[in-house]
Structure 1
Amino acid sequence: MQSSKLIWVIILLCGCLSSCFKEEPLNAECDIESVWVHTDNPDDFFFNRTDTIINVPYSKSEITFYVKRNSDITHMAPMFKITEGATIEPANGSLQDFSRGPVTYKVTSQDKQWNRVYNVAFQERSRTVTDTLKFDFDNYELDKEYGKFYVWYDKNEDGKTTYLWATGNPGFRYAYSTMKDPDRYPTTPIAEGIDGASVKLETRSTGAFGVINNKRIAAGNLFYGFFDTKYVLTETMKSTNFGHPFDKTPIKFEGYYRYKSGDKYQDKNGNEIPGKKDQGSIYSVMYRNHDNAGNEVMLHGDDVLTNPHIVAVARMVDVTGTEDWTKFELDFKYFDNIDETLLNNYGYNLAIVFSSSYEGDHFEGAVGSTLLIDKVRLICKKTE
């Protein structure tokens, strides 16, 4: 009798569990989390073994593998890690000819209601020919994923478009997801530059979202690197990834700026600190992008000026109020000698950082603090 009752309990329990499982909603996410390429001879294609895998930021839909010149990219088979239950087309691991240009991949969610399109490319990493890199910030557009905020791009020496500049605008979108005016974001273009457009960085309030998440301000920022929204609400400092591979030795960092501090400086808890004035940030950093064990190194908000792999820094100490366009000229201070072999194999990253609040990464500063930037130049050591 006891055995019979036990069997019925098990049957009822299994039925309940089955019902619960059936009611669980299907996954609505459709993202590429990472992509990698396997080759028998990776050193023939890539400068570093870690270049064979890319962890894809949530906000990024353009994925580029950088390869050595004259690499055969006609038969490459990328493998993708995608969100659970999603599908990808063309098929995961299928052979593709990337010599014809980027290949478009479509990821469809498990519930079949959503999809995202990614462009995957293999591109030869071109050498930096000029000794002076010029950034005038005249090229910008609305982001392709959401169409809500501005992004900046350049043309490299081969005439190709490169998206090497990033901002915290994708993170600000979490605070005001329904905002339709891109000019109300922290980083925007303005026409009143020295010659053409310039960039306006303004510290903004994050409203109710900021109070709930204890992130009350969003400093306007612009940096050479990329922004990963995956960490916005958890490890915020990890959202900012500073630097791109670089093959020159920088000696001077210069440009023009204007700065105005906001009226009320507040700490991370929203308390006003009477008498304290906000300041901006302007600096550039050169660092080794791999450690001695061959592991990739990337600087983030918590170590961009302190990481032990930094070899040189050019930093403006006091970015304070100036109504007129003012030139800054900064020499790079070196802490270690440049390894020419490493340099030629893109073993260093260069980061450039601008922010309207120097403590903005800790969510401290003054709403309304504004930094304008234009005609930035990176002057490098001349090569024969």
Structure 2
Amino acid sequence: MKSRLLFIISIIVLGATSCIKDEPLNRETDIESFIIKDNSYVDTDIRNKEVFVYVTDEINMASVAPEIEVTEGATISPESGSTQDFSKGSITYTVVSQDGNYSKDYAVTVVRLSSLNLVFDFENWKKTEEYYDLQVKTEEEILVKLWDSGNPGIAFVNKGKDFPTAPTTDSHTGTYAAKLETLKGNVSIGNIKIPIFSGSLFYGSFSLKEGIAEPRKCLRLGRIHPEKAGMPLTFTGYYKYKVGKPYIYLDDNNNEQSTNDIIDEFSIYSVLYKVPKGQAYKVFLDGITIMDSEMIVARADWKPETASQTDTPADKGFTKFTIPFKYKPGEEVLNYAAFDYKLVIMFASSKDGNEYKGGVGSTLIVDDVEVICDK
């Protein structure tokens, strides 16, 4: 009996060992985390094949030793913790999968926050395999991606050729402006129906890590707003808008409805919010919390009822908006000793597009945007 029991146990162990040996090695080649462990580090953006690391002026660009996490079992070269010279531009890191059959190159750029400003002309766009990404040129002539849109999510769920956010030559100045157009959706994610895609453009990033089941949580809204940039006072820029019809929405039974009786509206706003000191790289507001989070300290919202005060006619059919930031009581002085601050800028062709409501064809064009601060 005892020998039989030992035989059975040995079979189980051998079977388990066989299962472990038969398990395929990982083929993923992702950089999951890229940080610099000193006081200069602020935030990291990991894109498809690009990594942007944002730092303060305390950084020694010639001697940076980033700590990197990659997909389980994968290797990276140069290796994590090795000192690199970023003073001459980007450095290529290569990730090799656990099974050794796949590799991916990442261009890593370290960006000083002081090389950025809050004036945006929307002139620089990069064509990906499916859509356009807006880029910003730093004072050091480096193109970085500080803005994002809903395009990545739409590419994931729709696999279409039409995307609601793109450049247009219908600009206020320069060659290009940003064009946001509400498109028909006809997509479902589980129990969630998405009858329209609102055009959107926001200062922040889009991440599928939160799961596409709730698209609004994929928005990581806001970029670090350093103390040297000053206190935001006024949000200004130029826009033109065309209302689209019909207006599409979901009724209480989750059925798609359309009407010409509801007039679509656009959305333009900027928000300043605070996060615990040193936590800016991992604390965000999203498409749900951006409206009423207790972290918000100031807002500058375009509203139809105050448009007569904030809007003035401009050339080429554009309208200039000039919106003051309104600070919450007790937040009129920014406390950088206890908090870091992040700035959000948001544009959408359909105001309620985050609730999958909007007029098909509604088009918002924006250009020459600026956040004016007291420094």
TM-score class, shorter-chain normalisation, is 0.7 to 0.9
Matching residue of 2:76: 88
1:169 and 2:151 are equivalent in the alignment: yes
Matching residue of 1:117: 105
Pair 369,97 (structure 1): closer, same or farther in 2 beyond 3 Å = same
Secondary structure at the counterpart of residue 318 of structure 2: strand
- 2:170 corresponds, among 192, 211, 214, to 192
- 2:231 corresponds, among 243, 249, 258, to 249
- 1:374 corresponds, among 359, 367, 373, to 367
> For residues 15-34 of structure 1, what are the structure 2 equivalents within 5 Å?
15-34=14-33
CA contact (8 A) 2:49 2:107 kept: no
CA distance in structure 1 between the partners assigned to 2:46 and 2:355 by the alignment: 22
Secondary structure at the counterpart of residue 87 of structure 2: helix
Pair 37,330 (structure 1): closer, same or farther in 2 beyond 3 Å = closer
Pair 230,205 (structure 1): closer, same or farther in 2 beyond 3 Å = farther
Pair 62,127 (structure 1): closer, same or farther in 2 beyond 3 Å = closer
What's the CA shift for 1:127?
6.4
Number of positions where the alignment pairs a residue of Structure 1 with one of Structure 2: 356
1:262 and 2:250 are equivalent in the alignment: no
Superposition misfits of 4+ residues, deviation over 6 angstroms: none
> For residues 56-135 of structure 1, what are the structure 2 equivalents within 5 Å?
57=46, 59=48, 61-69=50-58, 71-126=59-114, 133-135=118-120
Secondary structure at the counterpart of residue 105 of structure 2: strand
What's the CA shift for 1:137?
1.3
Pair 57,228 (structure 1): closer, same or farther in 2 beyond 3 Å = farther
Counterpart of 1:31, as a letter, is D
CA distance in structure 2 between the partners assigned to 1:128 and 1:219 by the alignment: 28
Matching residue of 2:298: 312
Matching residue of 2:310: none
Pair 358,163 (structure 1): closer, same or farther in 2 beyond 3 Å = same
CA distance in structure 2 between the partners assigned to 1:59 and 1:363 by the alignment: 27
What's the CA shift for 1:218?
2.5
CA distance in structure 2 between the partners assigned to 1:26 and 1:201 by the alignment: 43
Which sits farther off after the overlay, 206-215 or 367-376? 206-215
Counterpart of 2:234, as a letter, is K
Over the matched positions of the two proteins, sequence identity in percent amounts to 32
Structure 1, unaligned stretches of length 5 or more? none
When the two structures are superposed, what TM-score results if normalisation uses the length of structure 1? 0.81
CA contact (8 A) 1:265 1:277 kept: no
- 2:271 corresponds, among 285, 300, 304, to 285
- 2:325 corresponds, among 325, 332, 336, to 332
CA contact (8 A) 1:28 1:113 kept: yes
When the two structures are superposed, what TM-score results if normalisation uses the length of structure 2? 0.83
1:301 and 2:287 are equivalent in the alignment: yes
Counterpart of 2:300, as a letter, is A
CA distance in structure 2 between the partners assigned to 1:341 and 1:8 by the alignment: 69
1:362 and 2:355 are equivalent in the alignment: yes
CA distance in structure 1 between the partners assigned to 2:122 and 2:231 by the alignment: 23
CA distance in structure 2 between the partners assigned to 1:242 and 1:300 by the alignment: 6
Structure 2, unaligned stretches of length 5 or more? 308-312
Pair 266,211 (structure 1): closer, same or farther in 2 beyond 3 Å = farther
